[in-house]
Amino acid sequence: MLDVKNLQVHYGVIAAVRGIDMHIDANNIVTLIGSNGAGKTSTLHAIVNSVKKKGQVLFDGRDISKEPTHRIIREGLTLVPEGRRVFINLSVDENLRMGAFNNDENFERLRGEMYRLFPRLDGKKQQLAGTLSGGEQQMLAIARALMSEPKLLMLDEPSLGLAPKIVGEVFEIITELKKRITILLIEQNAFAALKIADYGYVLENGSITLEGKAADLIGNDEVRKKYLGG
């Protein structure tokens, strides 16, 4: 589904991502864990070509390294950025409409699917997104991204700032989504991410220092000490 080869991101003289390789199989959840400043967000933005980068990105066997971001999204690769970034002055319904900008003919069908998938939003269709709780805004951000029917969904810190109960709901939804799409997940809550993921990469100072099946990483002493509090 996705192959990243020798990906590099520099901000001036600072190397944020130092030549990493990643592979993601279809209908898998793959997580990228690491401390703040490790280069996780830069990796996601480089994949969708919204930051200057070097290296190669193959999506469904096709080189998208030099394609503009809007075309990459049209081809089925979507990013839900950190901080939700919903349109706060638009209603929930209007946010979903914005997400379907390239898929308008399927809006009504997908709109119904989103309210079934995110029942917390169902009774708030006409409510302004800015008045939703943090958890509801995160759900809306994911739902809006799904309106384009992506093949691969990238999530940047979906649990950030959410109450534990809501985090649990969000991760249940992410697990449910695996039945239909592929997911690349960045998450500070390393244990929660590894628990639902198939495969994981550990990023430190812009380099991948460890990778493997998620279940194996949970049991790895180094990972437990640095990221799982064990």
CA angle 30, 32, 35 (to 5 degrees): 160
Q: Name the amino acid, one letter, at 216.
A: D
Predicted confidence (pLDDT) at residue 171 exceeds the cutoff of 60: yes
Residue pLDDT, tens place only, 136-166: 999 999 999 999 899 999 999 998 888 888 8
DSSP string covering 4-59, please? Answer: EEEEEEEETTEEEEEEEEEEE-TT-EEEEE--TTSSHHHHHHHHTTSS--EEEEEE
Predicted confidence (pLDDT) at residue 112 exceeds the cutoff of 80: yes
In the chain, the domains with their CATH numbers are: 1-76+151-230 (3.40.50.300), 85-149 (no CATH)
Residue pLDDT, tens place only, 37-93: 889 999 999 999 999 999 999 999 999 999 999 899 889 999 998 877 899 999 999
Contact between 107 and 100 under an 8 Å Cβ cutoff? The reply is: yes
Mean of the per-residue pLDDT values of the chain: 91
User: How many CA atoms lie less than 13 Å away from 35 in the CB half-sphere?
Assistant: 8
Q: What is the mean pLDDT of residues 200-227?
A: 91
| SS percent in the chain: helix, strand, coil, step 5 | 40, 25, 35
